[in-house]
Amino acid sequence: MRNDVRGLRSARGLSQGDLGDALGVSRQTINAIETERYTPSLPLAIELARFFGISVEDLFHVDDNGRKG
Amino acid sequence: MSTTTGGRGDLMHSKWTIPVGSLLIGLVLLGANIVGHQTVLGLWSLGIMVAFGAAVLLGGRSETVRGLRGDGRDERFAMLDLQATALAGLALIIAVIVAFIVEVARGHSGEPYDWLGAIAGLAYIAAVIVLRVRG
């Protein structure tokens, strides 16, 4: 699913490992989310949004025409 | 709300689960082979299982090894684990069906592949029912 995780993470000067450690997931999972190879669970999506201080809808983007962004 | 799986008290995802499980299976195989008067084969079985357990325990920092070991599991690896388990189960069921067909074509009864296939089918139906009831 299309998302702004990479941009927000980079803007805060965090590595994928740093973000993974903060959220209790692996660096590879953060990478998979950023490259749209993995759609996180709702709890992880909410934790990511809370971490960046924005809403889930602002972090993840779903196309109006389809289920996936 | 948790996005991780496993933990200090989670026996299924302890880093010792696979190594200890491998050792126990190896010992059971050794015992069965001793009962069947095949001690050398039993020792080989134990050695293979111990080597596998040691490789997982001492396998370094790779995500695959850490996921199998339990200290690198998160929700994504849990999903990978589930999909890999389903794929392995599918491969096993296909092998059982093919073996059953070959045995029947050879004029045999199809044992033991008939009841192995039945177990797989019944387990699948039971799992669907239980999981549906649990929501």
Long-range contacts formed by B118-123: CB under 8 A, 24+ apart: B120/B89, B120/B92, B120/B93, B120/B96
Residue B101 has pLDDT above 70, yes or no: yes
Residue B8 has pLDDT above 50, yes or no: no
- Of the pLDDT bands very low, low, confident and very high (cuts 50, 70, 90), residue A15 is very high
Residue A12: what pLDDT? Answer: 95
Q: Residues for chain B: how many in total?
A: 135
Burial track A23-57 (b if 16+ CB lie within 10 A, e otherwise): bebbbbbbbbbbeeebbbbeebbbbbbebbeeeee
Cβ contact (<8 Å) for A29 and B75?
Answer: yes
Cβ contact (<8 Å) for A44 and B75?
Answer: yes
- Evaluate the CA torsion angle A66, B82, A24, B59 in order and state its sign: negative
Gap between the Cα atoms of B17 and B79, Å rounded: 19
Residue B6: what pLDDT? Answer: 42
Q: Which residues of B touch A43 (CB under 8 A)?
A: 1-3
Rounded percentage of chain A residues whose pLDDT exceeds 70: 91
Nearest Cβ partner for A43 among B3, B63, B77: B3
* Bridge partners, A61 (sequence order): A2
Gap between the Cα atoms of B107 and B20, Å rounded: 43
Cβ contact (<8 Å) for B77 and A26?
Answer: yes
- Of the pLDDT bands very low, low, confident and very high (cuts 50, 70, 90), residue B58 is confident
Q: What are the pLDDT digits (tens) for B27-51? A: 999 999 999 999 999 999 999 999 9
Average predicted confidence (pLDDT) for chain B: 86
Gap between the Cα atoms of A33 and A37, Å rounded: 6
Residue B73: what pLDDT? Answer: 80
Residue whose pair of structure tokens reads 């490789």 in the numeric block: B55
- Of the pLDDT bands very low, low, confident and very high (cuts 50, 70, 90), residue B1 is low
Residue A25: what pLDDT? Answer: 93
Residue A69 has pLDDT above 50, yes or no: no
Residue B18 has pLDDT above 50, yes or no: yes
| Chain B contact present for A16, CB below 8 A | no
Gap between the Cα atoms of B47 and B53, Å rounded: 10
**Tokens representing A21?**
């450690």
| Chain B contact present for A41, CB below 8 A | yes
CA nearest neighbour of A1 among A69, A67, A55:
A69
**Tokens representing A32?**
């998979």
User: Model pTM?
Assistant: 0.74
Q: Which amino acid is at A22?
A: A
Gap between the Cα atoms of A32 and A50, Å rounded: 19
Residue B7: what pLDDT? Answer: 41
- Of the pLDDT bands very low, low, confident and very high (cuts 50, 70, 90), residue B60 is confident
- Evaluate the CA torsion angle B117, B118, B124, B127 in order and state its sign: negative
Q: What are the pLDDT digits (tens) for A22-49? A: 999 999 999 999 999 999 999 999 999 9
Residue whose pair of structure tokens reads 């959220």 in the numeric block: A23
